Amino acid sequence: MSVRVNWRQSVAFTGTVIKYLAVAMLVPLAIGLLYGEDTVVFLLSIGIAVGVGLLLERLEDDPQLGAREALLFVAIAWGAVAVVGAIPYVLAGYGTDSALRLPVNALFESMSGFTTTGATVTAEISFEQHSHALLMWRQLTQWLGGMGIIVLMVAILPEAAVNGAQLIDSEAPGPELQKLTPKIAETARLLWLFYLGFTVLYVCILVALHYAGMAPNMDVYNAVAHGFTTLPTGGFSPQADSIAAFSPAVQWVVIPFMLVAGMNFALFYLLLQDEYAAFLRDRELRAYLGANAGVAVILWGLLFTGSAPPLELGGVTQGALENSLRQATFQVASLLNSTGYATSDFAQWGTTAQGVLLFAMFIGGSAGSTGGGVKIVRWIVVIKSIRRQLFTTSHPDAVKPVRLGGHVIDEGVIQAIYGFTLLYLLTFGVATVLILLDAGRVGLEMTVLEAVSASLATLGNIGPGFGFLGPFGSYLDFPATSKLLMIFLMWIGRLEIIPVFVMFTGAFWNR
């Protein structure tokens, strides 16, 4: 006897998420009231979100979700918040020449925000025509999506906490979220408190730099705006020049917070328990920091020796010791964990330097972090299992389990990691070809590197690419069909592919 998925239940839960999304819109509404901009836009958006949410909630009142309903709910919810989040862009752009007035562009920007991708269709010259309220909404979407909308719902809503473990596993699949407390809702609250705490600390430091005279452009508005996008590894900025618009002091402050954002937030619980040795022994943390340091040193050497073009940045050339170190460290930290900020136009660097950055984009942040990409723990397991395979080929009778941090990894977990990695690379390859074909269809000039970076930057939730997709570039020139494909890539990339693709199988809908 087959049991069908109760899609009404999943949609009803999605209504709850949409309803509470209206609460988040109170922040840009307050900014709008302060600056006298776009207040009507956000009042209408709040009304629409509440109305749609209440309407969908009426479909079902059963708080219990099965495993398949949880998967369906998470996938639908992430798509729905992007659609509702696009409403302010469309309303604010109505009657103007803003690219965001078009639904496809608005949905692209919204999906990029909630998935913390940071890819944008907002051209450099158009930043000035958008209100402080709309730009703050753009920033806030990334902060909401960073730690996870569903994790937030589990933390604050009793009806979501009932299904907390299933929901969080569906939102952050792959390497499991470490359960820090007996109740999953308490774990979710603790993770969000870490996230909020680091955000507040970061904003306070930026504001302090401003009042100390070390960051003239970093006023309170900009500090809060960048606080909303650094910890979620988002990369959006209300400044067209991203972090390059600010002083070197600001850039040095941003680097450690980007590194923190790419760490497993569960590790900070060890510090609260005074387990400093366990924190420092964590295999994934050491690999993550080692990868950042190693790639940054290589890139620093290329920039310092002049292998990359010596671009003028604030009157100092790339060959200068401090500047080349800052640029290398910043860009590696930004792209390795998918933040996407920039302090210079690395699309103009030499081919070798761009190749190093492309390699960094494939690594990804830690499991349990806000970083995107494949995740470094998966690469560790893949490398260890390959070494095991090479060993057992010459020693067929040997029993050699794969270990991580002293613990034996279950063979089923290894197979799941291989399946995810293969599917990730396959999706990336197919998307690259489709983007190239679509560009040829409309006559858009595009190199293979640009297509590769577009596919990787959206699937990995990274944001900027190379060529005209560089850190100060835009995805505006892509045809609508390519934008829809990249919206799909951002969506499945945030949910780590498998929970979405499984819904395209017959076994999911009938059991």
- Reported as a single tens digit per residue, the pLDDT across 78-105 is 999 999 999 999 999 876 778 888 899 9
**What does the pLDDT read at residue 80?**
95
Give the residue-averaged pLDDT of 213-220.
94
Residue 59 has pLDDT above 70, yes or no: yes
Q: Which residues, 6+ apart, have CB-to-CB distance to 113 below 8 Å?
A: 82, 85, 138, 141, 142, 145, 234, 236
Which of 477, 476, 473, 226 has the alpha carbon at shortest distance from 346?
473
214: helix, coil or strand?
coil
**What does the pLDDT read at residue 251?**
95
Give the residue-averaged pLDDT of 264-277.
86
Which residue bears the tokens 């893949």?
Answer: 382
Confidence class for position 117, pLDDT limits 50, 70, 90: very high
**403 bridge partner residues:** 408
Residue 318 has pLDDT above 50, yes or no: no
**Average pLDDT over the chain, rounded to whole?**
86
Confidence class for position 187, pLDDT limits 50, 70, 90: confident
Q: Per residue in 360-403, pLDDT tens?
A: 999 998 887 888 888 898 999 999 999 999 988 888 888 888 88
Which residue bears the tokens 């944001």?
Answer: 463
**What does the pLDDT read at residue 181?**
56
Q: What is the CA radius of gyration of the chain?
A: 22
Backbone φ/ψ region at 377: left (φ over 0), alpha (ψ -120 to 50), beta:
alpha
Residue 273 has pLDDT above 90, yes or no: no
**What does the pLDDT read at residue 173?**
45
Confidence class for position 126, pLDDT limits 50, 70, 90: low
Which of 44, 67, 52, 66 has the alpha carbon at shortest distance from 12?
52
Extract the tokens encoding 472. 């100060």
Which of 83, 92, 106 has the alpha carbon at shortest distance from 37?
92
Q: Percent of the chain at pLDDT above 70? A: 88
Residue 239 has pLDDT above 80, yes or no: yes
Q: Which residues, 6+ apart, have CB-to-CB distance to 484 below 8 Å?
A: 104
Q: What is the Cα–Cα distance from 355 to 357, expressed in whole angstroms?
A: 5
Q: Lowest-pLDDT range, 15-19, 120-124, 313-317, 458-462?
A: 313-317
Q: What is the Cα–Cα distance from 339 to 236, expressed in whole angstroms?
A: 9
**What does the pLDDT read at residue 315?**
38
Which residue bears the tokens 């970093």?
Answer: 218
Q: What is the Cα–Cα distance from 138 to 120, expressed in whole angstroms?
A: 10
Residue 72 has pLDDT above 60, yes or no: yes
Yes or no: say if 51 and 22 are a contact pair by the CB < 8 Å rule.
no
Q: Of residues 495 and 255, which shows the higher confidence score? A: 255
Q: What is the Cα–Cα distance from 44 to 50, expressed in whole angstroms?
A: 10
**What does the pLDDT read at residue 275?**
87
Q: What is the Cα–Cα distance from 380 to 402, expressed in whole angstroms?
A: 10
Give the residue-averaged pLDDT of 488-499.
90
Residue 65 has pLDDT above 80, yes or no: no
Cα 366 to chain centroid distance, Å, stands at: 12
**What does the pLDDT read at residue 455?**
96
**What does the pLDDT read at residue 255?**
97
Residue 1 has pLDDT above 90, yes or no: no
Q: Percent of the chain at pLDDT above 90? A: 54
Q: What is the Cα–Cα distance from 137 to 86, expressed in whole angstroms?
A: 10
**DSSP per-residue letters across 108-123:** HHHHHHHTT-------
Cα–Cα separations (whole angstroms), residue 172 to 18, 57, 91, 227, 369:
20, 24, 32, 23, 10
Cα 143 to chain centroid distance, Å, stands at: 10
DSSP letter assigned to residue 466: S
Confidence class for position 163, pLDDT limits 50, 70, 90: low
Which of 39, 74, 250 has the alpha carbon at shortest distance from 169?
74
Residue 312 has pLDDT above 80, yes or no: no
**What does the pLDDT read at residue 210?**
96
Yes or no: say if 340 and 234 are a contact pair by the CB < 8 Å rule.
yes
